[in-house]
Chain A
């Protein structure tokens, strides 16, 4: 178990964060999610040992890590830039940490091959220089290099951000599978909320050096604790006063003094239990193959709503449609 207890990190006069408190359970896939500059990488680097907190403790299995130097912590890391050693081959990159541990040549060879097999690196690639590999292959090598040392914890700092969209999605599932198989506690830093939702057992949403919410992906998405989390995660409608007043007239009891949000997919095209009706005119739509996102003018405000393209005709601009939404799905801050 990893515990961040009242951790404070400063860069000169600037405080990156104060009183960071987090608990990561054994074998968990735990994601630090947030926009650029929110402190998520700083937290990760403090755990690995590249930064020393000005105050607080980082406890691993009951032992404070602060006084232990990086090289003694036994935490594996995959960097955003991969940080593969450019003067070495793939094999030498994988063997580096094992050589530092002064293992025998045969043991090193065995472990390198095992790691390569786990991450699907072929023998031909092992002898190649890292600069000769594609981005995806380099990513695999970086991952293999981190797991070959069998670390207690694996830290990944935006490891998929340099890859193209399709490769990113396919490596994402592989990463998830690998983590489950190895059962290794994994800390993952990303600004991609879709990635975080898909991969994580738990997510900590960071904003401006504070943790806004910690929870399972579902809790974060469906029951966002703060307005920032609700706005940052997924696509959402911020309902204006006119729409909220209208819904109250229809029977809802929403607070007009607070901001009201509803997820796009929680607005339906057919009546359901507890749902209230809103009518509006289609202003515009974005078609993306699987679904269509409609921009609908209702009560003089724009509400966005999505619909699966299941073969039924697509609504045209100017068409009037009925939308149904459950006040229980509306989050207020």
Chain B
């Protein structure tokens, strides 16, 4: 026997509460969706399958989703890896500025980002106008379809590389590079035989994420996909609008879910086969590598700065446009009188203009914090208990990772459109709570995995030491464990907050019409027939959104926390030296 068995009543109540939440909001909606799709009049019905496969649009959207996912795995990995290599591995001039530009995908994403690209490359976009001067015969709406979607998504989905691959490359033991050099290896050999194999596990993880992003793409096909390149998710939204085609939407969501599960299984099998374990006792810090071949060096510099332009153009344009009057935005022609502060003035003086912010901030912050708290609780259940049943909590919180957000949203709307005893005979659809629940659910798997990793990295002796000194479980948790994992939890909360701030995919299904979040407002503004006023405001929204995200990131990266710690240390110094 390893530990004393003491049943704590509050602990048991907490377990029941979390288990209920996971059953009611994760498992039940999915089951309910499956039942409503395949169960009619007391028997299994496969009619929906025929309905879907006889619809040319539905079949094409399915194909498109897979084509997009496979394409993105290649393009995002190339661009993302280059981002990391240009800024962290090779010695490229201006790496600091490049890094900032490549990290912009962390501060805005989804509809906001795609709308930004549209202002550069779209029919009335700046670059299109420039190109038209040289090629007057070209189609102004050239930036539409498969190519446009792939381009936008390739550059917007590199945030995982900038976070995880960057860390992985810094985890590389530079001594191994030096050892290879010492044994006569050239730059290419070192790169492919030493560096890349170490990054392999990270590549696998990122590839899975990228594939899932491609499969569940929403904003990019919706905004720049045009008629010819629609994918499953936008199609699900379209079909879900009418009661007749709702089951088609549900079935499409099921296909997306099944595909995701199968792929995750394949990837995890492949991942198991070849992994390395670092054996370094003393790691040396990575030193940047100068590219010896002058031609390759020039090519690398050109590519790096071209990518800089691609990343920065939409942002610069959004910032400039946010200071422009509606005439300039319409025509794209700048005059000295184009610039105005009116848009910003409106934001800070009209309550209606600030409202989407307040709604989004409240939802995102609430959901990010809740997801973190639930994850911490579940990690604790799983980690500390000897009872195998507790592992179910882990499966529960990880389920949403297997399911596209559209499936979760549809499941929720179908399950809780009427009074349901599972939630004490309440109706959720049409309330403000359903979006919050949805946000929490989609952020659970990521939060859980990151927080679990943080928990497992905590030395068990710390807890034992605290107990030895008389501290109880809660006190130890509050004073020892939480402070140790706090930086990881903060990053998770902030990444989730930023991700949700302008979310569109899930929001489109669950938002309350009176409380429209930013994603909905900005998407509406990017439509061709949006009012000019809405367009002006969408730029301001985006700029403020990026500032908010940047501030959050600054604190999440630890700089803010460090400042607090330094202040605390100074206070202690005063106390100790005074005597």
Contacts and interface: CB of A to CB of B under 8 A. Distances in A.
Interface stretch (A78-86, A177-185, A254-262, A277-285): A78-86
Given A71-B467, A89-B569, A100-B475, A83 B461 contact: yes
A127 B469 contact: no
Interface string A236-271: 000000000000000000000000000000000000
A49 B572 CA distance: 33
Given A51-B2, A71-B467, A85 B569 contact: no
A129 B467 contact: no
Interface string A292-327: 000000000000000000000000000000000000
A175 interface: no
Contacts, number: 96
A89 B3 CA distance: 31
B505 to A, nearest CB: 37
Contacts of A101: 470
A79 B470 contact: no
A123 B577 contact: yes
Contacts of A100: 469-471, 475
B484 A52 contact: no
B461 A81 contact: yes
A77 B480 CA distance: 17
Binding site secondary structure of chain B: helix
A246 to B, nearest CB: 48
B560 interface: no
A69 B464 CA distance: 12
B472 A127 contact: no
B465 A129 contact: no
Given A89-B572, A91-B572, A127-B576, A69 B4 contact: yes
B147 interface: no
B467 A126 contact: no
Nearest to A55: B1
Interface in B436-467: 459, 461-462, 464-467
**Residue among B465, B466, B472 having the largest count of chain A Cβ atoms under 10 Å:** B465
B94 interface: no
Contact of B573 (A50, A53, A83, A127): A127
A79 B1 CA distance: 22
| Chain B interface category by residue count | 20 to 34
Contacts of B468: 48, 70-71, 75-77, 146
A147 to B, nearest CB: 11
Contact of A52 (B3, B459, B471): B3
B3 A72 contact: no
A3 interface: no
A65 B127 CA distance: 79
**Residue among B461, B565, B579 having the largest count of chain A Cβ atoms under 10 Å:** B461
Contacts of A51: 1-3
Nearest to B6: A69
A9 to B, nearest CB: 8
Contacts of B461: 79-83
Contacts of B576: 91, 123, 126-127
Contacts of B197: none
B574 to A, nearest CB: 9
Nearest to A79: B461
B572 A54 contact: no
B469 A129 contact: no
Contacts of A88: 483
| Chain A interface category by residue count | 35 or more
Interface in B122-146: none
B479 interface: yes
A127 B579 contact: no
Nearest to A93: B465
Contacts of B486: 87
A321 B213 CA distance: 81
A96 B469 contact: yes
B4 A83 contact: no
Nearest to B5: A52
Contacts of B472: 71
Contacts of B480: 85, 87
B2 A11 contact: yes
A74 B467 CA distance: 10
B4 A52 contact: yes
A135 interface: no
A88 B484 CA distance: 10
Given A85-B462, A127-B576, A70 B1 contact: no
Interface in A75-134: 75-77, 79-83, 85-89, 91-92, 96-97, 100-101, 109, 113, 123, 126-127, 129
A101 B470 CA distance: 7
Contacts of A49: 467
Nearest to A155: B468
Nearest to A70: B467
A52 B2 contact: yes
Given A52-B3, A54-B1, A123-B576, A79 B465 contact: yes
A64 to B, nearest CB: 14
Nearest to A74: B470
B573 to A, nearest CB: 5
B470 A83 contact: no
A87 B484 contact: yes
A83 B577 contact: no
Nearest to A127: B573
A149 interface: yes
B3 A149 contact: no
Contacts of A52: 1-4
A51 B464 CA distance: 11
Nearest to B571: A127
Contacts of B465: 77, 79, 83, 85, 145
A271 to B, nearest CB: 51
Given A52-B2, A71-B472, A83 B467 contact: no
A79 B459 CA distance: 11
Contacts of B573: 127
A17 to B, nearest CB: 14
Contacts of B575: 109
A140 B3 CA distance: 30
Contacts of B483: 85, 87-88
Interface in B1-28: 1-4
A97 B572 contact: no
Contacts of A69: 4, 467
A50 B460 CA distance: 11
B469 A149 contact: yes
A163 to B, nearest CB: 16
Contacts of B459: 81, 83
Contacts of A5: none
A76 B468 CA distance: 6
A97 B470 contact: yes
A114 to B, nearest CB: 13
Contacts of B2: 11, 51-52
22 contacts: A48-B464, A50-B467, A52-B2, A52-B4, A69-B4, A74-B470, A75-B468, A77-B464, A83-B464, A85-B483, A86-B462, A87-B484, A89-B572, A96-B466, A97-B469, A97-B470, A109-B579, A123-B577, A126-B576, A127-B573, A145-B469, A146-B468
The 7 A-B residue pairs whose C-beta atoms are closest, nearest first, are A97-B469, A83-B461, A83-B465, A87-B483, A70-B467, A79-B461, A100-B470
Interface of A: 10-11, 48-54, 69-72, 74-77, 79-83, 85-89, 91-92, 96-97, 100-101, 109, 113, 123, 126-127, 129, 145-146, 149
Given A51-B3, A149-B469, 17 more contacts: A69-B4, A70-B468, A71-B469, A71-B471, A74-B470, A79-B465, A80-B461, A83-B461, A85-B462, A100-B475, A101-B470, A109-B575, A109-B579, A127-B576, A129-B569, A145-B469, A149-B470
